[in-house]
Chain A
Amino acid sequence: MYPKPLTYRRARTLDEAFSFLSENEDARVIAGGQSIMPMLKLRIASPSLLVDIAPIRELHEIRMEGNEIIIGAMVTHREIIESREIKSNIPMLQETARHIADVQIRNRGTLGGSICEADPSADYTPTLLVLDARVTLKSAKGERTVSLDDFLVGPFEVDIKQGEILTSVIIPVNRSAYSVVKYARRAADFAVASMAALVEKKTDGTVSDIRVAVGAQSDRPLRLRDLESELTGIKPQKRDLHLAVEKAVEGLEPIDDIHGSADYRKEVTSNILKANLGSLIFGGDSK
């Protein structure tokens, strides 16, 4: 399968990329290509101009700035898995990257590309939502930073304007106890249900901070903010957790498709939330 005929331009600097993008309204950015190539081949997308941002050096950087890590859009899943800075400062992100697709895709696929594809069952987004990540978007006119929660609009839709490029992801350092679960039929598949959670407890067992997000359960990954507020500031019992989970899952509207019916997806979500939030809150193996 060939993509439709297109013109390819390689940008060496951001300014060059902005100028290529401004030449053509129909232009799309290509990073690692592991999301857009399948779309081009299936002709779901058929831009007449493809602007490759891979040569732009600043997009490959991982750096600390105060209490935050800034990861360039072109950083690959493999580089996230191998980064010492990420391992020691946001281990949860590294754990998430380990389960993306397969070795070959992880060698090419990028953080920025995956976020911009905005697949509702993508691996990174639940994790990045609980980490309160923000994304930086640059264009010839300037730059803006938005929370990932605002950036994700719907299925395969993000708040990016023509001419803008997602250049980096900003993530506050977080070493809290976490859980990342991807439930898929086969390991390299997209998730049928997924969750990411962080929990901070006081020494007496009171939950001081809990953040939970689920993937593949709606038109975009979601933070479960009601569940979070119900369990914060208390020493929850198993019953409290189960009730909060059931209430949260009740409100989800996952798709019904060949990978799993809506009911099945909700059932799996309920089970993985109860088991894994249980382990984080009550400690040990309370599954």
Chain B
Amino acid sequence: MTVVNIKINGKKYSDDIEDRTLLVHFIRDHARLRGTHIGCDTGHCGACTVLLNDRPVKSCQILAVQVDGESIETVESLEGSDGKLSIEQEAFREHFAMQCGYCTSGFLMMTHHLIREYPELSREEIREKLHGNYCMCTGYQQIVDAVQDAQKRHNDKKS
């Protein structure tokens, strides 16, 4: 057992955990934040994507003890304190970029990262950047539409 301190969405979570605890289990079961999903559990599907020090990673492929003292952002960080949807969430809602919604939190975190990292991405580039996220309902057209729209909203807001 090891005591870890992990900052999630700006709040510190501390717990005495088994060393083999996966980060995704720490987020869901210890911090009780259930927006991050476990999809394939083999590192392929990206449903468990969170940002670790601002970079997307798959939280089912990391032990919580490995990120002791680090900062994580999960999908719960997107919504404003007033309950307003973020631009990524708005774009996904408007384009109906989800069917069952299981993969959505992973795609939202990728979108959150991509629109800040790159000022512009072509549809082809967006698809390339989203290789690590699967939508088993195969709603990819709408997801690409939503990422492009989110990027536009982000750029408009900045200028």
Footprint of B on A, CB under 8 Å? 1-8, 10, 30, 33-34, 37-38, 40-42, 50, 52, 54, 78, 101-105, 107-108, 186-188
B42:A103 contact, CB within 8 angstroms: no
What B residues does A41 contact at CB under 8 A? 41-42, 60
A1-B41, A103-B131 known; A7-B19 Cβ under 8 A: yes
Shortest B60–chain A CB gap in Å is: 8
- Can you report 23 residue pairs joining A to B where beta carbons are below 8 Å apart? A2-B20, A4-B20, A6-B19, A8-B19, A33-B61, A34-B61, A37-B62, A38-B42, A41-B41, A42-B42, A102-B46, A102-B131, A102-B132, A103-B56, A103-B131, A104-B132, A105-B58, A105-B61, A105-B132, A107-B52, A186-B131, A188-B131, A188-B132
Contact partner of B43 among A2, A5, A105, A186, CB < 8 A?
A105
Contact partner of B62 among A6, A101, A108, CB < 8 A?
A108
What B residues does A1 contact at CB under 8 A? 41
Q: Closest 8 CB pairs between A and B?
A: A102-B132, A8-B19, A102-B131, A188-B131, A3-B20, A37-B61, A104-B132, A107-B55
Q: How far is it, in angstroms, between the C-alpha of A226 and the C-alpha of B20 when the chains are bound?
A: 47
B154 interfacial contact with A, CB 8 Å: no
Q: Whose C-beta in chain A lies nearest to the C-beta of B113?
A: A103
Given A33-B66, A54-B66: 19 more A-B contacts, CB < 8 Å: A2-B22, A3-B20, A5-B19, A30-B63, A34-B61, A38-B61, A40-B20, A41-B41, A102-B132, A103-B110, A103-B129, A103-B132, A104-B49, A107-B55, A186-B131, A187-B128, A187-B131, A188-B44, A188-B131
Contact partner of A52 among B56, B58, B66, B129, CB < 8 A?
B66
Per-position 1/0 for B17-58, Cβ under 8 A of A: 011111001000000000000000111101001001001111
Choose among B43, B44, B56 the residue with the greatest number of A CB atoms under 10 Å from its CB: B43
Q: How far is it, in angstroms, between the C-alpha of A186 and the C-alpha of B140 when the chains are bound?
A: 15
Shortest A53–chain B CB gap in Å is: 11
Q: How far is it, in angstroms, between the C-alpha of A52 and the C-alpha of B19 when the chains are bound?
A: 12
A33:B46 contact, CB within 8 angstroms: no
B155 interfacial contact with A, CB 8 Å: no
B2 interfacial contact with A, CB 8 Å: yes
Q: Whose C-beta in chain A lies nearest to the C-beta of B110?
A: A103
What A residues does B132 contact at CB under 8 A? 101-105, 188
Q: How far is it, in angstroms, between the C-alpha of A188 and the C-alpha of B58 when the chains are bound?
A: 14
B65 interfacial contact with A, CB 8 Å: yes
A52-B66, A104-B56, A108-B61 known; A5-B18 Cβ under 8 A: yes
A5-B18, A6-B19, A38-B43 known; A104-B57 Cβ under 8 A: yes
Shortest B56–chain A CB gap in Å is: 5
B56:A107 contact, CB within 8 angstroms: yes
What B residues does A52 contact at CB under 8 A? 65-66
Q: How far is it, in angstroms, between the C-alpha of A8 and the C-alpha of B22 when the chains are bound?
A: 12
A34:B19 contact, CB within 8 angstroms: no
Q: How far is it, in angstroms, between the C-alpha of A8 and the C-alpha of B42 when the chains are bound?
A: 21
What B residues does A187 contact at CB under 8 A? 128, 131
Q: How far is it, in angstroms, between the C-alpha of A38 and the C-alpha of B22 when the chains are bound?
A: 11
What A residues does B21 contact at CB under 8 A? 2
Q: How far is it, in angstroms, between the C-alpha of A105 and the C-alpha of B129 when the chains are bound?
A: 11
